[in-house]
Amino acid sequence: MKKKLLFLLAPLALLSALSTQANTYTVTSGVNGTTVDGVSLRWAITQANSNPGSIIAFNIPGRAPQYINLTASLPVINNAGTIIDGSTQPANGFTGISPKIIIDGGGTVNNGLTITAANCELYGVCITHMSNSGNGITINATATNFIIGAPNKGNVINNIPGYGSGISLGGINGGTIQGNKIGTDTTGTVSSSVYNGITAGSSTKNILIGGGGAGQGNLISGQAGPNSCNIILQSSTHITIQGNIIGPGINMNHLHGSTISDGIYLLGADSCIIGGAGPGQGNIIGYDIDTTSTIGAGIQNQGTHADLISRNSIFCCGNWGGLQSISGNNNFPVPVITSAYTNIINGTATAKSTVEVFYNQSGCTTTIYGCSGETYLGTVVANSSGMWSLNGTFTGGLDITATATDSANNTSAFANCFPISLTTNVINLSDNTNFRLYPNPVSTYTNLEVSDNLLSQGCEFRLYDIFGREAIKITLSQNNTIINKNNLANGVYFYQLVSNGTVAGQGKLVVK
Yes or no: say if 10 and 2 are a contact pair by the CB < 8 Å rule.
no
Burial 342-358 (b: 16+ CB within 10 A, else e): bbbbbbbbbeebbbbbb
Residue-level pLDDT at 16: 34
Helix (H) or strand (E) holding 47: helix 41-48
Between CA 61 and CA 310 the distance in angstroms is: 48
The CA-CA-CA angle for residues 395, 401, 404, to 5°, reads 130
Q: Which of 34-43, 55-64, 74-83, 352-361 has the lowest mean pLDDT?
A: 34-43
Task: Encode pLDDT of 263-293 as tens digits.
Answer: 899 999 999 999 999 999 999 998 887 766 6
Q: Give the confidence band of 82 by pLDDT, cuts at 50, 70, 90.
A: very high
pTM: 0.81
Residue 258's nearest CA partner among 185, 321, 341, 319 is 185
Q: What CATH code would you report for 435-511? A: 2.60.40.10
Yes or no: say if 125 and 98 are a contact pair by the CB < 8 Å rule.
no
Helix (H) or strand (E) holding 120: none
Between CA 158 and CA 161 the distance in angstroms is: 9
Q: Which burial class, exposed, middle or buried, applies to 413 when counting CB atoms under 10 A from its CB (0-12, 13-18, 19+)?
A: buried
Q: Give the confidence band of 134 by pLDDT, cuts at 50, 70, 90.
A: confident
Q: Give the confidence band of 355 by pLDDT, cuts at 50, 70, 90.
A: very high
Between CA 386 and CA 404 the distance in angstroms is: 11
Main-chain dihedrals φ then ψ at residue 326, nearest 5 degrees: -120, 90
Yes or no: say if 439 and 413 are a contact pair by the CB < 8 Å rule.
no
Q: Which of 10-24, 419-433, 497-511 has the lowest mean pLDDT?
A: 10-24
In sequence order, the 6+-apart residues with CB closer than 8 A to the CB of 72 are 32, 109
Helix (H) or strand (E) holding 470: strand 470-476
Is residue 507 predicted with pLDDT exceeding 90? no
Strand duo 125-128 + 156-158: pairing: parallel
Task: Encode pLDDT of 385-439 as tens digits.
Answer: 888 989 888 998 899 999 999 999 999 999 988 999 887 654 334 445 678 888 9
Name the residue type at position 61: P
Yes or no: say if 113 and 127 are a contact pair by the CB < 8 Å rule.
yes
Yes or no: say if 245 and 217 are a contact pair by the CB < 8 Å rule.
yes
Name the residue type at position 300: Q
Q: Measuring CA to CA, how many Å separate 266 from each of 221, 273, 303?
A: 17, 11, 8
Which regions of the chain carry the CATH code 2.60.40.10? Answer: 435-511
Specify the higher pLDDT residue, 386 or 309.
309
